[in-house]
Amino acid sequence: MKKGINVLKNAVLRKAVDDCNLQKVEEALKEATLDNINHRIYHNHQGWHYYSTLLDDAIVDQDCPDSIANTLIEHGADIRIKGEYGRTSLINAIIHKKDSIAQKIINVILSEGIKQKLPEESVDEYISKEISIKDNGGKSALHYSLYYERFEVTQTLLRYHAKVEKEDIELARSKDNQQIVKLLEMKFNAQLSTIRATTLNTTKPDIKSIMEQICNTNRSNGAFDLRNCTAENTAIADTNSTTILGSTTLILAMVNTAAAAMLGIVAQNTPNILTMFNGKSLPEFNQTDISPTQKDDSGSIAGIVTGILGAIVVGIVGCFVVKKCRSNHQEIEYDSVPSTLGQPQSEHTGQSSTSETSV
């Protein structure tokens, strides 16, 4: 798309958006440039001076159908340009009850992460960071979804790992929605577990070194392919967690040929197998205790045959890795892996006071 501001075409597009006329908006967009679409417009409303984009105007105008804003987004409207209160398009969509626009924005962010060909765990982190951006008042999209009781949007944000604050949980309690409270508490506890694991791996390099060998990874920030939680001096992977794309830890381990990591997953799901952390020999495991048939959202399956053969292979490799790790770190003693895993995972209309409401 061409760049640069065309004053005439800019005026035509702006008029079409102001009139909430989808047909005219689509016609104007055929000739518009990205600069036209994302141009910040100056307003002087009864002495109130502010700037907004066409996307802002389409979102906050209650007479405009969601299709206007969604069409602008499809043609390159920048969802990251903040308004006068530092609010993102996502926050504005939630405040003004434009749920389909909020979902559209989340889908755009997710697509960006996938197009960058990031690893699945990095896609999780990318979208989590983007949807957790706060406004000038320190409030996130999640907080506004709770305040305005947009609970379906709340669940969507949590599914995409929006960061949870203590005040978000308190706000949910005040809204008397126990289901949302439980979801928030689960996510908040998972965040704490991840922080503890990262801190553990940063402050105790010997443990970090062993975890890297076991998980067949080499990550400087302690965020392994498998989500980590901690208990005392033990770092284990939560086998119940999944990525945004739906891959289980077992599927991730298979895809990344992390044989030793697979052993840990099998160990957590099989009570008859000794943990890789206690350094003892591995007894025969009960194959009926293993459930390797979980599918991700794309239909991939860790088949029964692959699971059985893989378990045999990882048993051999796992023993080798454990012995090697322990021989290099004789001074460290490990407790067995605990039986209980950590939990996985208007600002410018001048017609409403919602944008100025203290939340």
| Confidence category of residue 310, pLDDT binned at 50, 70, 90 | low
Whole-number pLDDT of residue 46: 76
Whole-number pLDDT of residue 124: 83
- Over range 94-110, report the average pLDDT: 94
306/148: higher pLDDT:
148
Q: Give the C-alpha distances (Å, rounded to integers) separating 228 from 45, 91, 207, 223.
A: 52, 30, 13, 7
Whole-number pLDDT of residue 165: 93
- The reported pTM is 0.57
| Confidence category of residue 311, pLDDT binned at 50, 70, 90 | low
In this predicted structure, the answer to whether residue 168 has a pLDDT above a threshold of 60 is yes
Whole-number pLDDT of residue 39: 87
In this predicted structure, the answer to whether residue 358 has a pLDDT above a threshold of 80 is no
In this predicted structure, the answer to whether residue 38 has a pLDDT above a threshold of 50 is yes
Whole-number pLDDT of residue 247: 58
Instruction: Report the C-alpha gap between 277 and 210 in whole angstroms.
Output: 10
344/24: higher pLDDT:
24
165/294: higher pLDDT:
165
In this predicted structure, the answer to whether residue 335 has a pLDDT above a threshold of 50 is no
Instruction: Report the C-alpha gap between 305 and 75 in whole angstroms.
Output: 47
Q: What ranges do the domains of the chain cover?
A: 1-78, 86-176, 198-328
β-pairing verdict for 234-237 and 228-231: antiparallel
Instruction: Report the C-alpha gap between 220 and 218 in whole angstroms.
Output: 7
- Over range 287-313, report the average pLDDT: 45
Fold (CATH) for 86-176: 1.25.40
Range scoring the smallest mean pLDDT among 76-80, 139-143, 256-260, 337-341: 337-341
Select from 291, 285, 260, 261 the least CA-distant residue to 273: 285
Range scoring the smallest mean pLDDT among 71-75, 109-113, 136-140, 166-170: 109-113
Whole-number pLDDT of residue 104: 96
